[in-house]
Structure 1
Amino acid sequence: MKKLLPRSVALGAVVLAVAGCSAATPGPGTAVPTPSASSSAAAAPTTGWELNTKGGAERIKAAGLPVLNMEGAAEHFHAHLDVFVDGRPVAVPANIGFSFSATGQPDGISALHTHDESGIIHIEAPVVGDTYTLGQLLTEWGVLDGAEKPGTAHSGASDWSVVVNGAKQDGPVRDVVLKAHDEVVLLHGTAPDPLPTAFNFPAGV
């Protein structure tokens, strides 16, 4: 047991540092959308939208963000993202904004990240006052102008529209600033009916 304890303690420290916000952090599927909104969790299609865990650190840096060894505590808020292609929902993957070791273990995290497929975006920053954008999240995800392979998931962001809290946004979709409890809908082609305009965040989130 004495030989295993240091390894267990070290592993526990890594998990605590990068695996979740707090006791109030929702697990997969616990975030419930409003009746007018569709959840990202039960979404399709998935081809081309999967998260490639390789290169996570490089994508975080490409988004202009540092790779941290734990979640920041100076500022903490959440937004929600729904993605639709021709009216069909696309799952927002877990672990966007994480870096992984060669063995597939998480070894770093961005202030901007996801923990599950609920579509909830976590902003847990080490300093107060920085802005975080949809474009940074898409770069960490590796889609829409941050792509490694062809397909709709990797087409230019200029082909997309974005709606925030029910209001269509002018200007580039990548420039949308993420704010607390925003419902962000990223659209390509036909919009879903009804269009999500709000999200019912779990208590404490």
Structure 2
Amino acid sequence: MKLKICGMRDEKNILAVAALHPQYMGFIFYPRSPRYVGDDFKVPALPSSISRVGVFVNDPVSLIMEKVDRYALKYVQLHGGETVAQCKALRQEGVGVIKVFSVDDDFDFNQTRPYEEVADFFLFDTKGKYYGGNATAFDWKVLEQYNQKVPFFLSGGIGPDNVEAIQALKGMNIHAIDINSGVEESPAMKDTQKIGTIIHVLNSIS
């Protein structure tokens, strides 16, 4: 099971987390997020094994592609109401698409079906006040209602205290876990010891 660390911004912290070799690292380009990278952000040199993911909310394809080119993003993570046509257009530009769905106990997984042919991955996050980073986990049992056709990232309040429970999802098409606020000292600053604990647990249940 792969690991994505999202909401990175500080250069030294990025390099410290990169030394732990997560497969994905996420950078948030949504200005209203407390983890927004800002206008002058620069990504330090990262190992080629770490895929760069840009997080966007309801931005036009042209703006997203500008960021993709500027920051050498391999994937875009779409947290808003992006259409199937927008996802298709981005894939045609050669960038991978991670389409996000906000999940609660009443979520209808039929909402994912139109995106099955235009997304490389889905990401299931906790429905809350914010576009991600709500620091709470949804009831993972609802994932039994998902048809498992598109591999998915699991997000929402995952930290050292509950990561072992992911063992119960091993039979599902889970590609990676996405951690953010559950390992933070402050917005955008990650605790490498907590990440190390999560990596140890993931290795034990893989």
Which category of TM-score, normalised to the shorter sequence, fits these structures? under 0.3
TM-score (norm 1): 0.26
Please identify which structure carries the higher helix content: 2
| TM-score after normalising by structure 2 | 0.26
Higher relative contact order (Cα pairs below 8 Å, separated by 6+ residues): 1
